[in-house]
Amino acid sequence: MTTAGEWRMSSQCVMLENAKRIEPRLIEIRRAIHMNPELGGMEFKTSRLVAQVLQEFGMKVTENVAGTGIVGLLRGAGDVTGAAGAGEKTVAIRADMDALPIQDKKDVPYRSRIPGVMHACGHDGHVAMVLGAAMLLADLKNQNKLPGNVKFIFQPAEEGPGGAKPMIEAGVLKNPRVDMILGIHIWPEIPAGRVAIKSGAALASTDEIRIRIKGEGGHGAAPHRAVDAIVVAAQVISALQTIVSREVSPMSPVVLTIGTIHGGYRHNVIADEVAMTGTLRTLNPAVRMELPGRIDRLLRGIAGGMRASAEFTHIPGYPPTVNDGRIAELASRSAARVVGDTNVIREIEPSLGGEDFSYFLELVPGVFIMLGAGNPEAGITFPSHHPRFDFDERALAIGAAILAQATFDYLSLPESGGDFLP
């Protein structure tokens, strides 16, 4: 019998080779989900499909977790490495399942069949890849070569209001306790065949801000008898950017964007109120804690100086997605076994986009992988959330192989003693 250690040494091409064998199945799954997209919290058909596939490969499946969530558990083959306690470790792999309220404008046979709803962020691919990893790891289990447990977490509502936190509260990281977690995301800006795995902060927090300026209405011909909320709002919008440029270190990226502004009645009436909403994003948890107070101070100062008043509401969103440095290095080495070291990008700028996978990373060491899936020659160049978004389906087998390889490599590590990394 081949030992787990021997398998690891010989698996540089084997995992991808095995993934290529199931590639037609992964494409079939992805396209079925793509044609039948479901919004957050309504992933009923997707959940049923996921549960059926997991059960087909011998998983213990728990359905209706935090709504439409699914958890599959693959028990390991026990201690096949000779390291004490190796069979007790558990890795989790997470996929998000929800679509977006966007009209699919691609001209492809698998275009969305649901008006106004499409998978414009690759979640259909994430589901297919994690199911592919489940197939590959179940095969290892059947060969008595899987030295630990694997949980497959299929999460609803990543696009909002967020399904990760409710699933955590439902206990998906327990029984058995998860020691390491992997997430993956289609990245159309990176060519298919390459992968980016960044140590540290990879994605930003996604807080919402709401501002209400209150003045005194009046006739447009007599501004001196009123307090123009629109003029105050204009000063506020300009001044807010000085928080980013003058109160935060240039080494700590911050985005403060006002996305909506509403106020006024007609052309000759001075507005008494203006309401604004915006997004506040940063990679630095400490800066994130400081920003609301600074915004509130600036708002009150400007409004008060112009005889108006201001109300400020800060609504916390997802925290920053911060990868564990050691797990990022392990996953990079695992990915190199699949695609070659030259195709693994370790230094990449973080994104100011956000992900609720961050909640998992606050509790368990892990890594969020950016999987290349762009193909300019095939016209696959549109970014996430675009009505013509698509990705190169060759990424499915690659992503499944990387997830399975990283899981296997982690489970094969000795429980104690020696270096953390293989």
Strands (E), 330-407: 344-345, 366-374
CB-count burial class (<10 Å; 0-12, 13-18, 19+) for 89 = buried
**Which pairing describes strands 218-219 and 269-270: parallel, antiparallel, or unpaired?**
antiparallel
* Distance of alpha carbon 239 from alpha carbon 203, whole angstroms: 26
In 60-122, alpha helices (H): none
Judge whether 158 counts as a catalytic residue.
no
* Distance of alpha carbon 150 from alpha carbon 270, whole angstroms: 62
- What is the torsional sign of CA 328, 330, 331, 336? positive
* Distance of alpha carbon 196 from alpha carbon 96, whole angstroms: 19
| Residue 367 DSSP SS3 | strand
Q: Tell me which residue has tokens 């109120």.
A: 273
- Choose, from 43, 110, 393, 410, the residue flagged as catalytic: 393
- Choose, from 318, 355, 359, 410, the residue flagged as catalytic: 318
* Distance of alpha carbon 130 from alpha carbon 205, whole angstroms: 25
Report the Cα–Cα distance between both ends of the chain, in Å, rounded. 21
* Structure letter (DSSP) for residue 171: T
Judge whether 359 counts as a catalytic residue.
no
Closest CA to 352 of 388, 397, 321, 310: 321
Which residues are the active-site residues?
A: 318, 393
